[in-house]
Structure 1
C-alpha cells in the first residue's frame, strides 16, 4: 500500500507551479507590449480648422456699378486754371529764375493745347530779354529778344510789368466769356483756341481777343486786369 505524499513535498510543488506561472505571465506581458501598435496621443484641436477659408486679396471680376467714362486725351487748357497755375509755379522754380522778382516784357500768349509763350527780363541783366516756352509740361529758354525792334511804340521801360501782377486765373475767365459769345452768335460755334495779354504803357494789362465774329452780328468785350468782362456790346453789319 502506497504512502500519501508528504505535506512538504506538496507545498514545494505548489510553489514551483506558482513561480512558473508568474514568470510566464511577465514574459507574455512584455511580448504583448512589444507587438501592440503604438497609438499617438490625441492632438489638440487646431483653432484654424474651424475658420472659413480666407478670401482672395484681389478679384478679377469687374466692380459692380457703372464704369468710369473715358476722357479725351486732349482738353482745352485755356479753361484749366489748375494747369495754368502749375505752369506758372514751374516757371518761378526754374534754377536760373528761382528766388528772383520776374518781369514780363510786352505779352504772354496762352494756347488751347497747353503751350505758353512769354518774354522775361533777365533778373541778372535787366537790359536783356529772353523768350521762354512751355510745352508738354516743361519750360525751355528760347532765343534772345531785342526790345529795340519794337520802338518807339513799345519799349522795355513802358511795356514791362512784374509777373506777380498778371493773374493766370484770368485766362479761364476770358476764355469762358469769349466762348459764351461764340455759342450765342456762331452756328456751329468754334472753340476758343488762343488768349493773350498785352502790357501797355504804365503796366496796363489788356486781355485779347476782345471781339467775336458771329454769323449775323459780332460782339465786342471789354475786360479788366483780372479778365472779368465788364461790358459786352453787340454789333450788327450796319455799324
Structure 2
C-alpha cells in the first residue's frame, strides 16, 4: 500500500525497469536539457504508480549532466578529424603541409593552417567543429618554407597522450594546474608539442614530448 493505494509489485518492477532504461538513454545524449526530460520521465512513473512526485531521491539526474564541456575529442574522433582533413577535395592526391601550429581545444574543436594546394605562397586557415572542417580562410603568412611540416607525420590522437602525461606530472607538483588543451608548434620544419612548462607554487618544470606524444624529458628548471 502507498498513500492508501494498492501497488501491483510485478507491474512496478516492469515499469521501473522501463523507466531506468529511458533514463540511461537520456543520459547518453550528454545534453543539459536532458535533465528536465529525466525528471518528466520520473514523474510519469510516479504518477502511474500513484506515488508522490519528488520521490525516488536516489536517482541522480543532475550529476552526469553537469559536464557541459565535452573536453578534447577522444582518440577515435581525433583520428576521424585527421582522416577527413586528408580527404578534403582540394588536397586529393596531394601532399598536405601544416603551417605554424595546430591547436586542440577542450571544447573539441581543432584549429590549424595549411599550405594552399596550388599556390605554395598562400596559407589557409581551417577549423574543425561539430564533426566537420570549415571552408578555407586566407591568412597572411611569413617564413612559409621554414614553418611547414607534413601532415602525414602528425597523428591527432597523440594530443590525448600529451594531455594525459602533462596532467600526471601536475599531480606531483604542488600548486600546478592540469591542462585540457594541447597544441603543436612548427619551426625550422620541426614539430613540437606543448604545453612545455609546468608552473607550481614553489617549482617550475620543463617538459618535452616526442613527436608521437610520449614523454621525451622532464626536469626542474
Q: TM range, normalised to the smaller chain? A: 0.5 to 0.7
List gaps (5 residues or longer) in structure 2: 1-13, 28-63
Cα offset for 1:63?
A: 6.1
Shift of 1:64: 11
Residue number among 192, 197, 210 corresponding to 2:184 in the alignment: 197
Is the 1:130–1:141 contact (alpha carbons within 8 Å) kept by the matching residues of 2? no
Is 1:182 the counterpart of 2:170? The answer is yes
List per-residue Cα deviations over 1:14-52 (Å, max 9, x = no partner). Answer: xxxxxxxxxxxxxxxxxxxxxxxxxxxxxxxxxxxxxxx
Counterpart of 2:8?
none
C-alpha displacement at 1:214, in angstroms? 1.0
Question: Of the candidates 187, 191, 211, which is equivalent to residue 197 of structure 2?
Answer: 211
Partner in structure 2 of residue 157 of structure 1: 145
**What CA distance in whole angstroms lies between the structure 2 residues aligned with 1:75 and 1:140?**
20
Number of residue pairs aligned between Structure 1 and Structure 2 = 168
Confirm or deny: 8 A CA contact 2:210 2:216 kept in the other structure.
yes
Matched position secondary structure for 1:91: helix
1:142-187 CA distance string (max 9 Å, x none): 4312223xxxxxx111111211011223211111121112222245
Q: Is the 8 A contact 1:77 1:83 kept in 2?
A: no
Q: Deviations over 1:190-222 (max 9, x none)?
A: 341321111111x21111111111122122112
The Cα of 1:60 is off from its aligned counterpart by 4.4
Unaligned runs of 5+ in 1: 1-58, 149-154
Distance 1:61 1:181 in 2: 45
- 1:77 is aligned to 72
Question: When the two structures are superposed, what TM-score results if normalisation uses the length of structure 1?
Answer: 0.62
Q: Where does 1:15-94 land on structure 2 (aligned, <5 Å)?
A: 60-62=15-17, 70=64, 72-77=67-72, 80-94=74-88
Counterpart CA distance in 2 for 1:214 and 1:89 is 38
Q: Deviations over 1:81-127 (max 9, x none)?
A: 11211111122222323333211111111111111111111112222
Q: CA RMSD in A?
A: 2.5
Structure with the greater alpha carbon radius of gyration: 1
- The residue that corresponds to 1:47 in the other structure is none
Is 1:105 aligned to residue 99 of structure 2?
yes
> Are the aligned partners of 2:166 and 2:178 in contact in 1 as well (CA < 8 Å)?
no
| Match of residue 155 from structure 2 | 167
Given that 1:108 and 1:119 are in contact with CA atoms closer than 8 Å, whether structure 2 keeps it comes out as: yes
